[in-house]
Structures are given as structure tokens and as C-alpha cells.
Chain A
Amino acid sequence: MVDTRGRVELGTTDAAFEQFVDAVTQRLRRALVATYGVEVGSEACADAIAWGWEQRGRLAAMANPAGYLFRVGQSAARTHLRRERTIDLTARAEARDDTDPRLDDALDALPARQRTVAVLVHGHGFSYAEVAELTGRTVASVRNDLHRAMKQLRHRLEES
């Protein structure tokens, strides 16, 4: 299901879709959580997977189904954010429980794209190509964002 470039392929059968979901869900959820936080990112991931199941025929014909689901998840996350102006920060507080509130604050200060790339690459061990595929961007763009994000994080964390 995963080709030599790390791209997740999708067959036309239901079993193939389930295999695709197994392969892509974790990285999709991680990417959406890195962008929108634990609660909204998780809900958006669930919405994207549900949409993918309903539209699995269309999805199978796409060149980059995982990237398309990420964009579906982005739309779902925006819908959640519009509906729920006040975000439940419980999950986020739990994540902050053990350590490093300064890192959380520094990540919050980053633009969403840079934050996503930094967390995926250094927090979850994604390759540049995997991030590029999932977010529908070029490897060069991912590399640039990561460079800017790390520069900003160093500036914020090392000066204080």
C-alpha cells in the first residue's frame, strides 16, 4: 500500500479502502492535530475519514488521496472552529501537564504551516516528502517552512 516514495495508494475495493485508512489515519491525525490542536484536529480527522468512506470511489481515482483527505480535514476543522468559538482546552492542558509550556507558547506563536511542519518532522519523524505529500506542497516549500520555524523557535526559546 505504501510505494517507494512513501505515497499511500488506494485500491477500489472496500478492503483496499480499509487498508488505506489503516495506513493513513495516524499520519493524517497527527498532521491535523499539529495544525489545529488535539480536539479540533481529532474531530477533523474523523470527519475526513468518514467523508473518504462515503466518497471512496472518487478517492480511489485520485493521484494523492491522502493529501485530498488532509484538505477535507482542513475544511472540517474550519467548520468546527467557526461553530465552536470557545475551544475546550482540556486535552491541550493534559498535553501540557508534564512539561515545556514555553515550547507550547513558542509553537503557538508560529504560523500554522510552520508549526505543522516542525511538529511533523521533529515531533513525529516525518520525512520532507511525507509532509509534502500530505499537505499538498513541494518538498522545497516544506524545507523552507521548517527552516523558518526552527529559526523562530531558537530565537524565542534561547533568548528567554
Chain B
Amino acid sequence: MTPTIEARLARHGERLDAATARYVDERPARPASTDLDEPRDRKSPRRVVVLSAVACVVIVGGVAVALHTVRTHPAVSTRPSIATTTTRVAPVRHVATDGRFVATVLPPGLVPHEQRRFLEPWVDNLVHQHTFVGPDHRLALAITAMTDLKMETPGAHPRVVPATAVQLMNTVGDAPTSTHLTFAGRPALLSRVDDQPSALILSWAVRDDALVQIVSEGAYDAAELERIALGLRAPS
């Protein structure tokens, strides 16, 4: 007759007692334990690993956020800011557009990814871009093709003036330093500012009823800018 499980367990208990007694009697002497710990039910290895991983993620995330803040916050950043820069050579002084182009005057000495840093906040639906850098790298003119026009950056609106202002601009064009040209198939005027010899103005009649003006400050050769403007083509 097969004994019940309870009886088998009772026999198992007796065997365990006997084996334990033998082990205790015969076990070799061992050095006293030096790290008798208090209960560590809350510190299982798996929990320690999980908590360590969480702590690492929090620390790395915090460092990343701090670095990002330091690099981008206007109060601590050493980089020029579109919204706050008021230096003589502003990052962007004016933007010209007819719905297909945006012309942006950039500060000198920017590498391409820095140019994109200035351009991207300004331009939505960017599809194509030409960037022209002057021979002395002191000024750049970026022409960006757009499918749509959204200019919502505060303090950076394109200067679009009524067509009647063309006459006003043409008075500047009467000066010896002005140049008439065709910009993307539309008449435009490139001129200097009388009291600022190093500044250039590109006035562009993008539509019959609107004129866009690009002002660039810096020692930029008028003929070079004209060549750039003449080389522009509308995207097909």
C-alpha cells in the first residue's frame, strides 16, 4: 500500500533532520563570516539591477537636458540668436519672398550646418536652397525655395512694401552705386546706402503690387551680388 503524501513528507522531514545533524557534526571548520547582513529582502539582485538601470537613465537624461539648456538658452549661449542679436551684421535682416523664394542674409563665417540653424526656424516646407558666400566669407545670401510661405518669427518679418515704394527705392538707384537687374524674372534694384557704404539693398518687385527689400550689411561687392541674383532660377 502506497503511503500518503503526508506520511512521505513526514519521512522526508526525518531524513532532513538526520542529514542536517550529520552535516553539522561533520562539517569542516570555516572562518567566521565577516559580512553577516541584516535582512535584505528589499535588495534582491534583480531589484538592484533595475534600480541601477533607472538611476543611469535618469542621470544621463539629466545631463543631456542640462547640456541642451546650456547650449541653447539665450541667457547663457554665446551663439548669436536670431531673435536677440542686434549687432551691426545681423543674422537676418530681411527676407524676400514671392511664395516661391525666400532670400535670407546670413552673418559671415557660418558653416553649412550653422546656416541651416538660422534658416530652419524661419522657413516651412523648405524644398530647395541656394547659399552664396562672399569671397571674404563676411556675408552670405541664402535663397531658399518654398512651396508655402509662413513667416511668423517675431521681429523677423519680410519687408514687403506697396509697389508705390518702388519709386522711393529708385531714388536710391539714382546714386552711382546702384544697379538694375532681373531677379527671378522680376525687376530688381541693387544699391548702396548713402550713409552706410558697406551696406547693400536688394529691392525686388516680386509682384506687381509688392516689393521685397533685402538689406545686407558688410563689404559685399555689388557686382558679385548682382551676378548671384542674375544666376537665380525659379525651381521647375
> Which A residues are closer than 8 A to B by beta carbons?
29-30, 33-34, 38-39, 41-43, 47-48, 50-51, 54, 68, 71-72, 74-76, 78-79, 82, 91-92, 94-96, 98-100, 103-104, 107, 118-119, 122-125, 150, 153-154, 157
Contact = CB atoms under 8 A, between A and B. Distances in A.
Contacts, number: 100
A58 B140 CA distance: 78
A47 B19 contact: no
A41 B21 CA distance: 12
Given A30-B16, A123-B10, A51 B23 contact: no
A103 B11 CA distance: 10
Contacts of A154: 5
Given A54-B36, A79-B37, A95 B9 contact: no
Contacts of A119: 9, 12-13, 16
B136 interface: no
B15 A95 contact: yes
Interface stretch (B38-46, B154-162, B189-197): B38-46
Interface residues of B, number: 31
Contact of A123 (B12, B23, B37): B12
A33 B14 CA distance: 12
B41 A71 contact: yes
A94 B40 contact: no
A107 B12 contact: yes
Given A34-B16, A95-B16, A153-B5, A75 B40 contact: yes
A100 B11 CA distance: 9
Contacts of B27: 42
A42 B20 contact: yes
Which of the listed residues A30, A79, A95, A125 has the most CB atoms from chain B within 10 Å of its own CB? A95
B6 interface: yes
Given A47-B36, A72-B37, A103-B9, A98 B15 contact: yes
24 contacts: A33-B20, A41-B20, A42-B23, A42-B24, A47-B33, A54-B36, A72-B37, A75-B40, A76-B37, A92-B19, A95-B15, A100-B8, A100-B11, A100-B12, A103-B5, A119-B12, A119-B13, A119-B16, A122-B9, A123-B9, A123-B16, A124-B13, A124-B17, A125-B13
Contacts of B35: 79
Contacts of B11: 99-100
A50 B10 contact: no
B5 A91 contact: no
A137 to B, nearest CB: 12
A157 B2 CA distance: 11
